[in-house]
Amino acid sequence: RKEVEQDPGPFNVPEGATVAFNCTYSNSASQSFFWYRQDCRKEPKLLMSVYSSGNEDGRFTAQLNRASQYISLLIRDSKLSDSATYLCVVSPSGYSTLTFGKGTMLLVSP
């Protein structure tokens, strides 16, 4: 089983839609969780950390389910500029290296 698994997509949605991505991880010792965004041929950038209680940043909401070992990202009111690949990332502790999923591609159309 791969350490971090994501549906590669692409997810094709119209502007204004709500879209959700899920990610599962295999290492139950994972302690830190993140969503990174990567535009085509560009470097990944941190979108948001994911906390056990769930957290929201504007139109983006992240949730963590430790029992089921999955992480979700919800994007509301999608914008054209949200088109990118979203990488699910986990770390066994806050101070060690990161393990990246392969990413989920989102395409938002007018």
Partner 1 sequence: DADVTQTPRNRITKTGKRIMLECSQTKGHDRMYWYRQDPGLGLQLIYYSFDVKDINKGEISDGYSVSRQAQAKFSLSLESAIPNQTALYFCATSVRRGAFYEQFFGPGTRLTVL
Preceding amide of 110 cis, omega within 30: no
Query: What is the greatest pairwise CA distance in the chain?
Result: 42
Helix H, strand E, coil C: the string for 62-103 is EEEECCCCEEEEEECCCCHHHCEEEEEEEECCCCCCCEECCC
Nearer to partner 1, 33 or 75 (CB): 33
Which letter does DSSP use for residue 35 in this model? E
Give the count of residues interacting with partner 1 (CB under 8 A).
21
Nearer to partner 1, 20 or 46 (CB): 46
Nearer to partner 1, 55 or 76 (CB): 55
Nearer to partner 1, 29 or 43 (CB): 43
Q: Choose which of 103, 104, 106, 108 interacts with partner 1 (CB under 8 A).
A: 103
Site for partner 1 in 12-71 (CB under 8 A): 32, 34, 41-46, 49
Contact (CB, 8 A) for 63 and 72: yes
Task: Name the residues that contact partner 1, by CB under 8 A.
Answer: 4, 8, 32, 34, 41-46, 49, 87, 91, 94-95, 97-98, 100-103
